Structure 1
Amino acid sequence: MFYQLYELNHAALAPYRAFADIMRMVYANPLNPISQTPWGRTMAASLEMFERTTRRYGKPSFDLNDTVIGDRKVAVREEIVWSRAFCNLLHFARNVPSGHATDPRILIVAPMSGHYATLLRGTVEALLPSADIYITDWIDARMVPMTEGTFDFDDYVDYVIEMLRFLGPDTHVIAVCQPSVPVLAAAAVMEAENDPFSPSSMTLMGGPIDTRINPTAVNQLAKERSLEWFADNVIMNVPWPQPGFMRPVYPGFLQLSGFMSMNLDRHVIAHKEFFMHLVKNDGEPAEKHRDFYDEYLAVMDLTAEFYLQTVDQVFIKHALPKGELFHRGKLVDPAAIRNVALLTVEGENDDISGVGQTKAAQTICVNIPENMRMHYLQPDVGHYGVFNGSRFRREIAPRIVNFVREHARTGKPVVKRVIKGGKSG
């Protein structure tokens, strides 16, 4: 019922939001003399604040239309090359100059934790000059009809395996935050089966491999609550008239409220500064605020079964580091990973995945040779800085590229084709 009330409240505010937007344009119009006065700018700023804090933010676009390879600017084309009910695989096809050496092929597995894959726009942008990039574009569960079936932790692992097989040999995989556990599980399953399409390298960034180490506020919440509490309090049915009507989900707006409450003072200060920038007509910092929050406030729903299994297996039972994680009824054995190079990356000030939680992968993957493993702790960054921002571009991205190149197996190009289908089995 709470989800329905949320939707009703949003719909009820729609006419007021539209009116506020119209009046904002009136007060901000340069042809209106009032727009040049402090009072006019204050009114325009107040109206914009109201509109922005009551709107629903839609899925952003990547808008990565070009990159630089060597000293040449080349065009980039975004295309869907693989599709399932709950995920599209996007390829950023570069117009590579003739004679350019084959770049490594990288699959970036974006988090399914409330935000869209576009949260990793900076990650993709930083790696594009040096690699052939693919990324998982998870689909909002509220947009998936019930007829498409369910999507759980096993399905997530299956999707990763299917994408790696689709991309072919010598593909490198990067997992950012939440997918670190299912990606490591997928690599273990493939290695146990001697799958020739297992990744050449696996980079885990700010992921909850073992949340018993330096637990954060997120980890403590899962520790203090039972799985039944999560099922009773945060799982809701998608309201009509969404395509996923009646699908049980963990709503994105609940996840967002949790994220914001962890750093509420920071968000309040950011919006206060945004208001003052608007009043002072400081265009550049105001635009940076818009860009960040247009992305940050755009959220998606997760299927209930995937969310609850993740909470249970990763945050409550710690199944992977304990050697108790199962996939399709078979035990996942990280010791089976022998041929996949492992890079783990953490942020010194990460308040989502504490220091040491991702590095734990180095401990449980006991059979990876020492010359095929590396750990890097980035000073002075939080969770977001592990995969985005100036330090990521300057310090982390070059290390990832060097690691990937060092552990490439072949240089075979991928054959691009589009595969569509239903739920993975």
Structure 2
Amino acid sequence: MLYRAYQNNADLLSPSRLAAQHLGNVANALWPASTERSIARSFAAAMEVYSRMRLTHSRPAYGIERVEVDGEAVAVTEEAALVSPFGTLLHFRKDTRAVQPPVLLAAPLSGHFATLLRETVRTLLHHHDVYVTDWHNARDVPLWHGGFGLDDYTRQLIRFLETIGPGAHMVAVCQPCVAALAATALMAEDDNPAAPSSLTLMAGPVDCRVNPTLVNKLANERPIDWFERNLISRVPWPHAGVMRRVYPGFLQLAAFMSMNPERHKQQFIKLYEHLVDGETDQADTIRHFYDEYLAVNDLPAEFYLQTVERVFQTYDLPRGALTVGDRKVDPSSIRRTALLTVEGERDDICAVGQTVAAQDLCMSIRPYLKTHHLQAGVGHYGVFSGSKWNTQIYPRVREVIHTAAEMH
């Protein structure tokens, strides 16, 4: 019922938003050559802001066409290395003969598309052969493909690493840190030749018992059956995944936006003002952010509920109780994989201490293969995007990957 009500509302408003977009384009043609305010420009700005205040459900483009390698700009082409019902192993192939270590970037499955890591991908591409877990929108996955839970995510990481082959490295951002550590442990236990040479865990909820954040506390206020009754909906017709049980991306986005509604309100006011004043660069910055932020990705119900329960409520990994199928996950099985953990000093989603907990769990990794980096002055998103990611965090990530590559 919840999803159906949302869909009906979106369908009802769609014609007015399309009309606003068209009227704004017409008004743009009436703009004077000067940069002074005009009625036409004010009208066009209002129409654009209204038309943009909507959710979309399609993955935005990565838009990475060229990147600099060894001082030379080279072309980048996206290729699907492996396609499964719930996700694609996306390869950013570069037109260069430079041999660089392959890296699997494990993206969160948490209400947004993997394109949220666009800047992370772009930075890694300078010195690495980059692959990304490009998760599909669950509402577009037909019901006959079955479910997709936390175990399936972990197995998918293993399959992706096996597709890339021996010598790969894995970088997990936020939510998938638990699955990435589990996959690495299982592959180490099996002596799988495709086990990652290095594992980087960035701002991930390895042990949520440490310094609980508001997000952690909210996850524990109610039993898991409350989440299932109140937050899980079936995909309505006419989507390909009709009747699939999902945690709708619009609910996740609403939760994020409710944490700071005034900030989002002010951003749309600023967008209007920049458009009226002809400040296109400033307007583009806000446009690009919300094009990404308002593109929502529905989660399979199994994955969402299992993540809430096993990661945020019962803390299975740090308690030694995490299983994948009938196999128990033992991080002490990891011996030859270098480990880097990264945290942000001001992270209010995954607090300091929650990710570095992986260092103690991986007790069999020799000390010289373990590294931790606490970045001062950044919150959650600053760990993998922004100036400090590029100038202070990324060099540490690159160093760990390239050192591990030389050792193997």
Identity %: 46
Deviations, residues 238-268 of structure 1 (Å, cap 9, x unaligned): 0000000000000000001111111222212
Deviations, residues 183-217 of structure 1 (Å, cap 9, x unaligned): 10001111112222211000000100011111111
Determine the C-alpha separation between the residues in 2 that align with 1:212 and 1:263: 25
Question: By how many angstroms is 1:40 displaced?
Answer: 2.6
Determine the C-alpha separation between the residues in 2 that align with 1:55 and 1:307: 20
Contact kept, 8 Å, 1:34 with 1:40, in 2: the verdict is no
Residue 10 of structure 2 is aligned to residue 10 of structure 1: yes
Task: Report the number of matched residues.
Answer: 408
Question: By how many angstroms is 1:31 displaced?
Answer: 5.8
Other-structure match for 1:188? 185
Aligned CA RMSD, in angstroms, stands at 1.6
Determine the C-alpha separation between the residues in 2 that align with 1:305 and 1:57: 20
Deviations, residues 5-38 of structure 1 (Å, cap 9, x unaligned): 1101111112211221122122222467999644
Q: Do the aligned partners of residues 13 and 262 (structure 1) sit closer, same or farther apart at CA in structure 2, a change above 3 Å counting?
A: same
Residue 377 of structure 2 is aligned to residue 398 of structure 1: no
Q: Do the aligned partners of residues 277 and 162 (structure 1) sit closer, same or farther apart at CA in structure 2, a change above 3 Å counting?
A: same
Determine the C-alpha separation between the residues in 1 that align with 2:77 and 2:49: 35
Contact kept, 8 Å, 1:79 with 1:92, in 2: the verdict is yes
Q: Do the aligned partners of residues 239 and 35 (structure 1) sit closer, same or farther apart at CA in structure 2, a change above 3 Å counting?
A: farther
Other-structure match for 1:83? 83
Other-structure match for 1:384? 381
Deviations, residues 269-312 of structure 1 (Å, cap 9, x unaligned): 22222222122221111010000110111111010011100100
Contact kept, 8 Å, 1:343 with 1:374, in 2: the verdict is yes
Other-structure match for 2:121? 124
Contact kept, 8 Å, 1:13 with 1:54, in 2: the verdict is no
Determine the C-alpha separation between the residues in 1 that align with 2:114 and 2:344: 20
Determine the C-alpha separation between the residues in 2 that align with 1:31 and 1:161: 55
Contact kept, 8 Å, 2:55 with 2:294, in 1: the verdict is no
Determine the C-alpha separation between the residues in 2 that align with 1:236 and 1:136: 25
2:220 is paired with a residue of what secondary structure?
Answer: helix
Determine the C-alpha separation between the residues in 2 that align with 1:94 and 1:54: 35
Contact kept, 8 Å, 1:30 with 1:36, in 2: the verdict is no
Residue 141 of structure 2 is aligned to residue 171 of structure 1: no
Determine the C-alpha separation between the residues in 2 that align with 1:325 and 1:194: 20
Q: State how 1:13-92 maps to structure 2 within 5 Å.
A: 13-30=13-30, 37-56=37-56, 58-92=58-92
Other-structure match for 1:155? 152
Contact kept, 8 Å, 1:27 with 1:35, in 2: the verdict is no
Question: By how many angstroms is 1:235 displaced?
Answer: 0.2
* AA partner of residue 208 (structure 1): P
TM-score normalized by the length of structure 1: 0.93
1:115 is paired with a residue of what secondary structure?
Answer: coil
Question: By how many angstroms is 1:124 displaced?
Answer: 0.7
Deviations, residues 87-141 of structure 1 (Å, cap 9, x unaligned): 10011111114xx4x2111010111111111111100100111010001100100
Determine the C-alpha separation between the residues in 1 that align with 2:311 and 2:269: 37
Deviations, residues 374-424 of structure 1 (Å, cap 9, x unaligned): 00011111111111111111111111111101111578xxxxxxxxxxxxx
Contact kept, 8 Å, 1:179 with 1:207, in 2: the verdict is yes
1:403 is paired with a residue of what secondary structure?
Answer: helix
Determine the C-alpha separation between the residues in 2 that align with 1:122 and 1:86: 23
1:224 is paired with a residue of what secondary structure?
Answer: coil
Q: State how 1:13-412 maps to structure 2 within 5 Å.
A: 13-30=13-30, 37-56=37-56, 58-97=58-97, 100=98, 102-408=99-405
Q: Do the aligned partners of residues 33 and 62 (structure 1) sit closer, same or farther apart at CA in structure 2, a change above 3 Å counting?
A: closer
Contact kept, 8 Å, 1:35 with 1:41, in 2: the verdict is no
Question: By how many angstroms is 1:80 displaced?
Answer: 0.2
Contact kept, 8 Å, 2:31 with 2:38, in 1: the verdict is no
Determine the C-alpha separation between the residues in 2 that align with 1:87 and 1:382: 28
* AA partner of residue 11 (structure 1): D
Deviations, residues 169-188 of structure 1 (Å, cap 9, x unaligned): 11100000010000100011
Structure 2, unmatched stretches of 5+, are: none
- Report the more deviating stretch, 388-397 or 199-208: 388-397
Determine the C-alpha separation between the residues in 2 that align with 1:72 and 1:161: 34
Determine the C-alpha separation between the residues in 2 that align with 1:193 and 1:321: 21
* AA partner of residue 366 (structure 2): P
TM-score normalized by the length of structure 2: 0.97
Determine the C-alpha separation between the residues in 1 that align with 2:258 and 2:6: 18
Structure 1, unmatched stretches of 5+, are: 412-425
Question: By how many angstroms is 1:356 displaced?
Answer: 0.9
Contact kept, 8 Å, 1:170 with 1:410, in 2: the verdict is no
Question: By how many angstroms is 1:158 displaced?
Answer: 0.6
